A and B are shown apart, each in its own frame.
Chain A
Amino acid sequence: MTTIDTGERRRGADTRPVITELIDEATVEAIAQEAWISLVGEDEVLVPLPGEPVADPLSSWVDVVGPWTGSVVLTTGRRTAEELTRALLREHSPEVLEDEDVADAFGEIANVVGGNVKAALPGSSGLSLPDVGDAPALRNPEDVCRVDLLWRGETVSISVQGALPPLPAH
């Protein structure tokens, strides 16, 4: 096989960055705020304050694969996810929201936040389609950048979390 230079060596393959070396909470907050203004409403505000723990959590996420590999996970209460869906759909909001509508809207918010997080990372990465359900487990507690926000008084948290396990100590 011809050896093709993927540039991995030049990218410093002797270290594996954790997310806190690549992005900070303020950037994730700014990305989320822009997404909310565009998708949810011009006057919408996300307040960077921790709220009540979420009773009936629902998460949406996209995976980022590249020099850093992990997921951008949004978590909120199911009721709040439904409110977000209605806000996105505006006048097209049906009387009764199907799970599919919530998955679509909440997934799309993860797509927009995740896509912008991806763009803030060095090098070139791939972005997955969004998924909705129970939050993916934390693989490495050292590889997390998390912001807790309040939207209309409800807790929305965004976790940018690595998918690779911690390196063995040696």
Chain B
Amino acid sequence: MRALVIDDSRAMRRIVSGILEGLGYETRQAGHGREGLDVLETGWVPDLACVDWNMPVMDGLQFVSAVRSNPALRSMTIMMVTSESEHTQIVRALAAGAHEYVIKPFTADAIRDKLALLGLLPQEAVL
């Protein structure tokens, strides 16, 4: 399974990619929403996109809106990554088409549990 990790923080990208690779994902990274769209436009369509909320150039909400208007990307599950101070805005991203969210700081288990619920674990997970 494939995942696209979009975050303007390289450290956060590494952490999230690390967690997903540990679960069996093949990952790619992007520094903001526009770069994320560029990756998708190459034809590499992931099963999952983990998207930061606050990014320059194109933020998480704008990315979600752009993706949801593209029928070719409807099968991609979008999980927002939000900080405590932004978290009450998360419903806006969900309404725009995101499927799930996780609040920083999060554990690898929190991500795994949400992916298990969504049926997005590459192998049988023992919960």
Footprint of B on A, CB under 8 Å? 1, 3-6, 8-9, 13-16, 63, 65, 69-71, 126-129, 136-137, 139, 163-165, 167-168, 170
Contacts and interface: CB of A to CB of B under 8 A. Distances in A.
Interface stretch (B27-35, B55-63, B82-90): B82-90
Given A8-B113, A13-B113, A168 B95 contact: no
Contacts of A1: 15, 105
Given A4-B105, A164-B100, A65 B90 contact: yes
Given A14-B117, A164-B100, A168-B118, A3 B108 contact: yes
A163 B117 contact: no
Given A14-B113, A14-B127, A126 B87 contact: yes
A63 B127 CA distance: 30
B99 A128 contact: no
Interface string B63-107: 000000000000000000000000111111011000111010111
A16 B113 CA distance: 10
A69 B94 contact: yes
Contacts of A8: 106-107, 109-110, 113
A126 B119 CA distance: 27
**Chief secondary structure at chain B's binding surface:** helix
27 contacts: A1-B105, A3-B107, A4-B105, A4-B107, A5-B107, A6-B103, A8-B110, A9-B107, A13-B114, A63-B88, A63-B90, A65-B87, A65-B91, A69-B94, A69-B101, A126-B87, A126-B88, A128-B89, A136-B95, A139-B95, A163-B90, A163-B91, A163-B95, A164-B100, A165-B99, A167-B119, A170-B119
Contacts of B99: 164-165
B68 to A, nearest CB: 12
Contact of A128 (B91, B109, B110, B116): B91
Given A127-B88, A139-B95, 9 more contacts: A6-B103, A9-B113, A13-B113, A15-B117, A126-B88, A136-B91, A164-B94, A164-B100, A167-B118
A36 B16 CA distance: 46
Contacts of B94: 69, 139, 163-165
- Which 10 residue pairs across A and B have the least CB separation, nearest first? A170-B119, A63-B91, A13-B113, A128-B88, A163-B94, A126-B88, A163-B91, A4-B105, A8-B110, A3-B107
